[in-house]
Amino acid sequence: MTTYAAADTSFDQLMSKIRQRRAKVGIIGLGYVGLPLGLLYSEQRFPVTGFDIDARKVNMLNQSGSYIFRIAAEEIRTAQTQGFSATSDYTQLAAMDAVIICVPTPLNEHNEPDLSFITNTAHSIAPHLRAGQLVVLESTTYPGTTEEILVPILEKENKLGLTAAHGDHPKDNEFLVAFSPEREDPGNTTVARRDIPKVVGGLNPQAAQLACALYGSIFNRTVPVSSPAAAEMTKLLENIYRCVNIALVNELKLLCLRMNLDIWEIIEAASTKPFGFHPFYPGPGLGGHCIPVDPFYLSWKAKEWDFRTRFIELAGEINTHMPYHVLASVAGALNRHKKAINGARILVLGVAYKKDIDDLRESPALTIIELLQKEGAQVSYHDPYFPFIGKGRKYDLQMKCTELTNLGQYDCIVIVTDHSDYDYRRIVEEGQLVVDTRNATRGIQSSKIVRC
């Protein structure tokens, strides 16, 4: 087993290493959050080690490859020249000065928090924990997770009898803990990652200062809050705000369809107001790791306090219903063309959860495909970012991407994700019937189009 030199244990020593870019940073979880974060630290010349249990990811990174579309292989090669490496060997955690946890926090089959990735990671860290290390959790979760789940495992299972620092003056047998929520927005090319302010909540003042210094070296602004729980709630507020407003506009869309009004025209007009209004847009359902998941984390935790988050639960109910609305729209459109959905050949355009990204997490397209198949439809899909859809946590489709040729063979084309490189005019011209869930065909006039 690899041995390491004695750790720097003082606050001043670790702060000095951070400021001099000598602090060794370990990133656990090399997905859509962890890998970009590790590359930011590499850009600033920190020695970075990425940890992941997925050997495929580790091998690809160490061979200068990338499995995330928006991260070029050249970025990986550049990071490697600056000391970046990936590993599945968690014994190397003992050499890290700071350990940042970026693992998934999905829902289980009952829409309850699944913290298994966090707990498994904590079990993996604990045997290699040493005094003076800074451990930061970034995974989105309910308020209290850092203090109620992460810290007890680290304290109980480390081999040196270490405890988490709570007081103003950390002792030699303590480690430091903070929470800083990820704020990744895949596909956003208008805001640089380093321009997104970083919220930080430390378990004690020194942990907060060290975490702010660590993040302040790669982000232009840090926002300290009073505790890890406050930082955890901040993240949930951000995403629940979006979830509730998307639910509102989805409900208004359903009403506008009955009233024969164009919700997109109405949103555009309302957006001209220079104050008090921020536009949100309807769609076929919520996707991504955060917005469909986070409200359930808070509503589950609220029950511990004998509190029901009725407003949030209603928003989740409306958004969850949207794929069923798409199904009904497709069935109705086919019916008006004297065709049944049972046996109909249907092409789903776009399966990523939003445009121009290679991310399937919680994508409504997957639910829509399954619903169509259950009704007996013969479903194909096309997405330039996904040549194949296999098995996920909640689906097992085993489908291969079809070519965008002979569009007239399909009884209906359903636009679920409005990727920029689709030629929508051609799709309308060559298709028999187009159901548009994203207003991708705006400006195209045709009786073939059904906007839902």
- Euclidean distance between CA atoms 367 and 324, whole angstroms: 9
On the question of pLDDT at 335 being above 60, the answer is: yes
Q: Which residues contact 379 (CB under 8 A, 6 or more apart)?
A: 346, 347, 348, 369, 372, 373, 399
For the chain, the residue count is: 452
The pLDDT tens digits of the residues spanning 221-265 come to 999 999 999 999 999 999 999 999 999 999 999 999 999 999 999
Q: What is the mean pLDDT of residues 150-179?
A: 93
Closest CA to 96 of 3, 12, 16, 23: 23
On the question of pLDDT at 336 being above 70, the answer is: yes
Closest CA to 182 of 33, 358, 332, 370: 33
What residue type is assigned to position 323 of the chain? P
On the question of pLDDT at 7 being above 50, the answer is: no
% of the chain with per-residue pLDDT over 90 = 87
**Helices and strands per DSSP (H, E), number in the chain:** 14, 16
pLDDT band at 188 (very low <50, low <70, confident <90, very high): confident
Q: What is the mean pLDDT of residues 183-200?
A: 89
Question: Residue 168: what pLDDT?
Answer: 82
pLDDT band at 3 (very low <50, low <70, confident <90, very high): very low
What residue type is assigned to position 262 of the chain? D
> Where do the H-state alpha helices sit in 283-376?
294-302, 310-336, 364-374
% of the chain with per-residue pLDDT over 70 = 98
Question: Residue 111: what pLDDT?
Answer: 81
Question: Residue 81: what pLDDT?
Answer: 94
Q: Which fold has domain 11-226?
A: Rossmann fold (3.40.50)
Q: What is the mean pLDDT of residues 8-28?
A: 90
Q: Which residues contact 221 (CB under 8 A, 6 or more apart)?
A: 197, 198
Which range is least confidently modeled, 190-194, 205-209, 234-238, 417-421? 190-194
Query: Crossing angle, helix 11-19 and helix 205-216, to 10 degrees?
Result: 10
C-beta of residue 163 within 8 angstroms of C-beta of residue 155: yes
Q: What is the CA radius of gyration of the chain?
A: 24
Q: Which residues contact 413 (CB under 8 A, 6 or more apart)?
A: 346, 347, 349, 407, 427, 431, 432, 433, 434, 435
Question: Residue 154: what pLDDT?
Answer: 98
Task: Name the segment(s) of the chain with CATH classification 3.40.50.720.
Answer: 11-226, 243-451
- Euclidean distance between CA atoms 240 and 292, whole angstroms: 9
Which burial class, exposed, middle or buried, applies to 255 when counting CB atoms under 10 A from its CB (0-12, 13-18, 19+)?
Answer: exposed
Question: Residue 286: what pLDDT?
Answer: 87
What residue type is assigned to position 215 of the chain? Y
Q: Is the model more confident about 79 or about 167?
A: 79
Q: What is the mean pLDDT of the chain?
A: 94
On the question of pLDDT at 172 being above 90, the answer is: no
On the question of pLDDT at 21 being above 90, the answer is: yes
Q: How many CB atoms lie within 10 A of CB 110?
A: 8
Quote the tokens at residue 257: 């369809």
Q: Which residues contact 290 (CB under 8 A, 6 or more apart)?
A: 140, 235, 239
pLDDT band at 352 (very low <50, low <70, confident <90, very high): very high
Question: Residue 184: what pLDDT?
Answer: 84
On the question of pLDDT at 328 being above 60, the answer is: yes
Bridging pattern class, strands 396-400 and 222-225: unpaired
The pLDDT tens digits of the residues spanning 403-452 come to 999 999 999 999 999 999 999 999 999 999 999 999 999 999 999 999 99
C-alpha distance from residue 268 to each of 88, 264, 271, 272, 346 (Å): 49, 6, 5, 7, 31
The pLDDT tens digits of the residues spanning 161-170 come to 999 999 887 7
pLDDT band at 205 (very low <50, low <70, confident <90, very high): very high
Q: What is the mean pLDDT of residues 266-287?
A: 95
Q: Is the dihedral of CA 435, 371, 110, 354 positive or negative?
A: negative
Which burial class, exposed, middle or buried, applies to 423 when counting CB atoms under 10 A from its CB (0-12, 13-18, 19+)?
Answer: exposed
Q: What is the mean pLDDT of residues 42-61?
A: 97
What residue type is assigned to position 405 of the chain? T
Question: Residue 287: what pLDDT?
Answer: 84
On the question of pLDDT at 1 being above 60, the answer is: no
Quote the tokens at residue 148: 């109620």
Q: What is the mean pLDDT of residues 187-201?
A: 91
Q: Which fold has domain 243-451?
A: Rossmann fold (3.40.50)
Distance in Å from the first CA to the final CA of the chain: 60
On the question of pLDDT at 296 being above 80, the answer is: yes
Catalytic residue numbers, as ranges: 290
The pLDDT tens digits of the residues spanning 357-378 come to 999 988 999 999 999 999 999 9
